[in-house]
């Protein structure tokens, strides 16, 4: 992949299992918050899936679209865009009714010092949306941050384990889940809580951050020494397939790759490919934010893009100094301050 266009095409390429799963989807799909990091490729993947299946189902993409070029790009692919600030009740209620909703709306970075906005976006707005779409299947994007830090020997938090969000961002995300859970149970709305960490493409993510540090000969802080990742295209595919697995009460699903990745090991992998020995600071703490996604793998199979493939693609991207989004994950953060 040498260009953004080639990357976008790869991210929105439907697999045979996705085509089969969505062949009989009996309604249109609306993506709320389509303007974020994952939204455009998710919408494009849904649209390409419907097109290849010969379906006339619509894909709606809703956002404030502060960058009008994103709106034009989505429309050029056949996606129906709607410009709306859904914090405003009139604009929320004006949205069309659809059978399937993917809820991507939320805020993370910049919440320290602006906590009230995080709570409104992450915990209050979900109630308004849940009321509006009480008759829809809703896949709610959440985060592995709702779990506590766990010992690396555990293999990661499981859906049946306790939550324990660290910091107000993570607490507000658990609030989002609880509000949707309330409306699911009281309105009989099928919901799935999609607990994701960490999606990557070549322009952002844990792998890019480690690779750039190695390439630029910058020391890597090992205090948070382990992480999970998944290719964004695989995360998108799972999200679409989850539309058929919403339930009352809500299904809870961890979504990430199968590996507990050592950051030290990862840096050495990049170092070998770049012929640049990595530099480190500190030693690994015994705990990290880790999720066990074996339930998702049982339901949907293993991700189509392997960790080794992601490492090789990222190495090539960094060595050729291609475009990035300049949106760090802050996966090293242990106090929940974003």
In a domain, 309, yes or no: no
Q: Which residues of the chain have pLDDT under 50?
A: none
Owner of token pair 């964004």? 232
Domain that holds residue 97: 4-205+230-256
303 touches 234 (CB < 8 A): yes
* 274 closest CA partner among 305, 306, 317: 317
Domain of residue 195, CATH code: 3.40.50.720
Helices 39-52/68-76 angle, 10° precision: 10
What per-residue confidence (pLDDT) applies to 110?
61
In a domain, 266, yes or no: no
What per-residue confidence (pLDDT) applies to 111?
63
Phi then psi for residue 94, to 5 deg, are -80, -10
What per-residue confidence (pLDDT) applies to 68?
86
In a domain, 184, yes or no: yes
Number of domains in the chain: 1
Residue 326, Cβ density class (10 Å: 0-12 exposed, 13-18 middle, ≥19 buried) = exposed
CB proximity list for 158: less than 8 A, separation 6 or greater = 254, 292, 294, 295
In a domain, 306, yes or no: no
Given the DSSP bridges, would you call strands 220-221 and 251-255 parallel, antiparallel or unpaired? unpaired
Sign of the four-CA dihedral 253, 259, 230, 174: positive
269 touches 238 (CB < 8 A): no
What per-residue confidence (pLDDT) applies to 338?
61
Question: How many angstroms separate the CA atoms of 74 and 97, rounded?
Answer: 20
In a domain, 116, yes or no: yes
Residue 98 tokens read as 């659809």
Strand (E) or helix (H) holding 261: strand 261-262
In a domain, 70, yes or no: yes
What per-residue confidence (pLDDT) applies to 11?
95
In a domain, 137, yes or no: yes
In a domain, 111, yes or no: yes
| pTM for the model | 0.95
């Amino acid at each position: 992949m040498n260009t953004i266009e080639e990357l976008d095409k790869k991210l929105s390429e439907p697999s045979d299992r996705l085509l089969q799963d969505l062949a009989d989807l009996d309604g249109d799909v609306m993506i709320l918050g389509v303007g974020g990091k994952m939204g455009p490729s998710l919408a494009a993947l849904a649209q390409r899936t419907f097109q290849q299946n010969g379906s006339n189902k619509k894909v709606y993409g809703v956002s404030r679209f502060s960058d009008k070029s994103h709106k034009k790009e989505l429309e050029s692919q056949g996606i129906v865009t709607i410009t709306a600030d859904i914090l405003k009740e009139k604009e929320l209620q004006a949205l069309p009714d659809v059978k399937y909703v993917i809820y991507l709306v939320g805020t993370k970075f910049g919440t320290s010092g602006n906590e009230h906005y995080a709570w409104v976006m992450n915990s209050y707005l979900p109630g308004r949306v849940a009321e509006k779409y009480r008759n829809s299947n809703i896949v709610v994007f959440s985060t592995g941050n709702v779990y506590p830090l766990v010992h690396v020997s555990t293999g990661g938090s499981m859906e049946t384990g306790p939550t324990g969000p660290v910091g107000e961002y993570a607490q507000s995300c658990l609030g989002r889940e609880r509000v949707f859970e309330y409306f699911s149970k009281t309105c009989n709305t099928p919901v799935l809580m999609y607990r994701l960490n960490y999606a990557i493409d070549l322009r952002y993510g844990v792998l890019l951050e480690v690779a750039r540090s190695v390439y630029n000969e910058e020391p890597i802080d090992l205090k948070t020494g382990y992480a999970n990742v998944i290719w964004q295209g695989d995360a998108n595919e799972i999200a679409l397939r989850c539309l058929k697995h919403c339930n009352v009460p809500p299904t809870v699903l961890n979504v990430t790759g199968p590996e507990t990745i050592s950051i030290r090991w990862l840096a050495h992998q990049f170092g070998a490919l770049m012929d640049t020995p990595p530099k480190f600071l500190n030693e690994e703490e015994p705990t990290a934010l880790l999720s066990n996604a074996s339930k998702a793998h049982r339901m949907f199979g293993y991700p189509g893009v392997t960790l080794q493939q992601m490492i090789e693609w990222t190495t090539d991207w960094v060595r050729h100094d291609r475009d990035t989004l300049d949106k760090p994950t802050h996966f090293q953060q242990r106090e929940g301050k974003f």
